[in-house]
Amino acid sequence: MRKILIGLLFIFVFPIRVFAEGEFKVGLDVTYKYNREGVPTVEQKITLTNKTAYQYASKYEMEISGDNPTNIKAWDSAGPLKVDISDKITAYFNNFVAGIDKSYQFHLSYLGKPALHNGQVWEVNFPKSNDDYRLSVIIPKNFGRLAFSSPSPESNNGEVIVFNNAKSGVVAAFGDFQTYKFDLSYTLQGPGTIALPADTGYQRVFYDSLTPAPANVKIDEDGNWLAYYNQELNQNLVIKAQGTANVLSEPALLVPATDLAVYLQPTRYWPSDNQEFIRLAQRYKTPKEIYDFVVSSLSYGFNNVRKGGLLALENPNNSLCQEFTDLFITMNRAANIPAREINGFAYTTDNRLRPLFLAGTDILHAWPQYWDEKRQTWISVDPTWEKTTGGIDYFSKLDFNHFTFVTHGTKDDTPLSAGFYKLPNDTSRNINVDIGVYRDYSTKPLKTRLDIPRQIWAPLGAKAILHIDNPNGFAVYNTTYDVLSQNGNIETLPPFSKITVMINIKPVWKLNFSDQTIVVTVSGISKTYNIYPVNYLVWHGSIAVFSAFVLLTVGVVASRAWSVHLQRQT
């Protein structure tokens, strides 16, 4: 019988590859148990099954690469195993693995590489293998919920997460959201608008400052926040926006959907009415089928010109995130699935695996969304990163690393994203985004004012103007108002926005010589305004003049009638 050792290569920085000689079948069951500081105790339960009758195994070797594991232990059912540690780890078996189909099971444990703690999120990455292996991950409560994983686990009870086949490796992120701090610069030439990062289904945005203050902030059809500036025609204005954004990995229904028909229309970069896309729509009918087609068809590479969906399909090489996005949107629209584009910032620690594109000197990313009719919300996916990471699933759920600057749906290239508001030859960096610290923002009360006309012509009524201003650096939702039994709900008030509501003052015929009270209630807070008799001065004066005219007319008529009467008497 020939003696053989079992050699396995473990890389103790990610990724890990595991392999064994074909004479033995290796069964691997790995458990990572993390403490509150993110340090895992790794236990490998290894089962070796001899597939030959003429060989036996006496020891187990692991080559060490990267960060060295610590506190290494090995044992089997008979007790501890002798372990030698040098540039590799060697565990000597208490019993030989001899005889065909004979199995030997032993355990190896060590302290592994800590989880990466970025802001509000814990991130972990587990090894690839040449063989199937079962992975169990035990997390402490301070990690939070499993927000993203590729692949999806077979089971998850909130504490123990199990992947039955982890051969391709596993990446996972834990937490409720990630906080980013941002510092953005915009330059306007003359009056105009800029697109500010806005709330979406995946993020809430909080502004610490927006200087100078805009004249107003309004919402466009795609949900973008547009800040309006009214400076002189030839004046250059530099605008600074600073704040934080809390980014989610799955959508929350914060922003209602608009007319979805506009997200099916063909455009210059999304020619969904092209016959080639109509033909493809007969075969690729779901977002997942289209996503897989895009990932498999395009090759990532650099180019200087946006191709659009059709040229990306015809020339799949050297495609950036913009081409992956354009092709996905075009094919979905051709298949009668609403789709749109997101431009923004994607946080990455590895530009090779998760690349971005340059907007001058600023780094941006593009990814698409499709409308999920069943869930009634927009779903973000990232075919570019699935391609460049070699298969990490960015369709089932997005990670915490995608921060939206602007949404393109009704139009395929406007409004411009932050990073594109520059003067010619401006090489300065206008986008700065990094992991931030979560904090609560106190809410200031809305500013309200009711403008009552100076003069009210009572029989015709009048219109008062209710002004509602949001002084907060974040959006306020579902603002209710009630004035003179006229009420309504304002779904979204963007930060620093101002709106007006017309209020009807009903016509009256009676004279008003006392104060009238109007109660204005906005979001449960009431203010009282008065209509004074002086507001009816013209009406009262008109009544007085009319009354005097009537009396004078009656007097004249009566006088003449009396005069005629007297003449007849004589």
Which pLDDT value is given to residue 16? Answer: 33
Within 13 Å, how many C-alpha atoms sit on residue 451's CB side? 8
Which pLDDT value is given to residue 322? Answer: 95
Instruction: State mean pLDDT over 250-256.
Output: 67
> Which residues, listed in sequence order, are joined to residue 88 by a DSSP beta bridge?
63
Whether 450 has a pLDDT exceeding 50, the answer reads yes
- Of 28-37, 66-75, 273-282, 300-309, the one with minimum mean pLDDT is 66-75
- Of 63-77, 185-199, 353-367, 405-419, the one with minimum mean pLDDT is 353-367
Which pLDDT value is given to residue 125? Answer: 87
Residue 281 is encoded by which pair of tokens? 């729509």
Instruction: State mean pLDDT over 437-457.
Output: 90
Higher pLDDT, 1 or 305: 305
- Of 158-162, 205-209, 449-453, 531-535, the one with minimum mean pLDDT is 531-535
Most distant pair of Cα atoms in the chain: their distance: 162
CA 164 to chain CA mean position, Å: 31
Residue 432 is encoded by which pair of tokens? 């700065």
The strand pair at 462-469 and 498-505 is best described as antiparallel
Which pLDDT value is given to residue 356? Answer: 53
Reported as type and span, the H/E element at residue 327 is helix 321-334
- Of 73-82, 128-137, 232-241, 278-287, the one with minimum mean pLDDT is 128-137
Residue 143 is encoded by which pair of tokens? 């990690």
Percent of the chain with pLDDT over 90: 58
Query: What is the pTM for the complete model shown?
Result: 0.84
Which pLDDT value is given to residue 64? Answer: 63
pLDDT tens figures, 401-438: 999 999 999 999 999 999 999 988 888 889 999 999 99
Instruction: Please report which confidence band the pLDDT of residue 60 belongs to, taking 50, 70 and 90 as the band edges.
Output: confident
* H helix and E strand count, the chain: 6, 35
Report the alpha-carbon distance of residue 69 to residue 86 in Å, rounded: 12
Which pLDDT value is given to residue 255? Answer: 52
Whether 461 has a pLDDT exceeding 80, the answer reads no
User: Do 518 and 529 meet the contact criterion of CB atoms below 8 Å apart?
Assistant: yes
pLDDT tens figures, 373-407: 998 899 999 999 999 988 889 999 888 999 999 99
Mean pLDDT of the residues in the chain: 87
Whether 3 has a pLDDT exceeding 70, the answer reads no
Strand, coil or helix: what is 41? strand
Instruction: Please report which confidence band the pLDDT of residue 257 belongs to, taking 50, 70 and 90 as the band edges.
Output: low
Residue 176 is encoded by which pair of tokens? 């409720």
Which pLDDT value is given to residue 455? Answer: 79
Whether 443 has a pLDDT exceeding 60, the answer reads yes
Report the alpha-carbon distance of residue 415 to residue 407 in Å, rounded: 8
Percent of the chain with pLDDT over 70: 88
Q: Which is nearest to 112 in space by CA: 125, 93, 129?
A: 125
Which pLDDT value is given to residue 245? Answer: 97
pLDDT tens figures, 486-517: 999 999 999 999 999 999 988 776 666 677 88
User: Do 116 and 123 meet the contact criterion of CB atoms below 8 Å apart?
Assistant: yes
Could you give the C-alpha distances from 7 to 25, 144, 166, 193, in angstroms and in order? Answer: 12, 37, 20, 64
Instruction: Please report which confidence band the pLDDT of residue 19 belongs to, taking 50, 70 and 90 as the band edges.
Output: very low
Residues 6+ apart with CB under 8 A from 415: 193, 194, 195, 220, 224, 226, 406
Strand, coil or helix: what is 158? coil
pLDDT tens figures, 311-338: 999 999 999 999 999 999 999 999 999 9
Higher pLDDT, 461 or 160: 160
Whether 63 has a pLDDT exceeding 80, the answer reads no
Instruction: Please report which confidence band the pLDDT of residue 18 belongs to, taking 50, 70 and 90 as the band edges.
Output: very low
Residues 6+ apart with CB under 8 A from 97: 24, 48, 50, 56, 57, 58, 103, 104
Instruction: Please report which confidence band the pLDDT of residue 531 belongs to, taking 50, 70 and 90 as the band edges.
Output: confident
Strand, coil or helix: what is 6? strand
How are the residues of the chain apportioned to helix, strand and coil, as percentages rounded to the nearest 5? 15, 45, 40
> Which residues, listed in sequence order, are joined to residue 162 by a DSSP beta bridge?
136, 155
Which pLDDT value is given to residue 17? Answer: 32
Angle between helix 287-297 and 321-334 (nearest 10): 140
Whether 568 has a pLDDT exceeding 80, the answer reads no
Whether 5 has a pLDDT exceeding 50, the answer reads no
pLDDT tens figures, 83-116: 988 878 888 988 877 788 888 899 999 998 899 9
Which pLDDT value is given to residue 256? Answer: 55
Residue 37 is encoded by which pair of tokens? 């500081």
Which pLDDT value is given to residue 260? Answer: 93
Higher pLDDT, 453 or 481: 481
Residue 561 is encoded by which pair of tokens? 């009638």
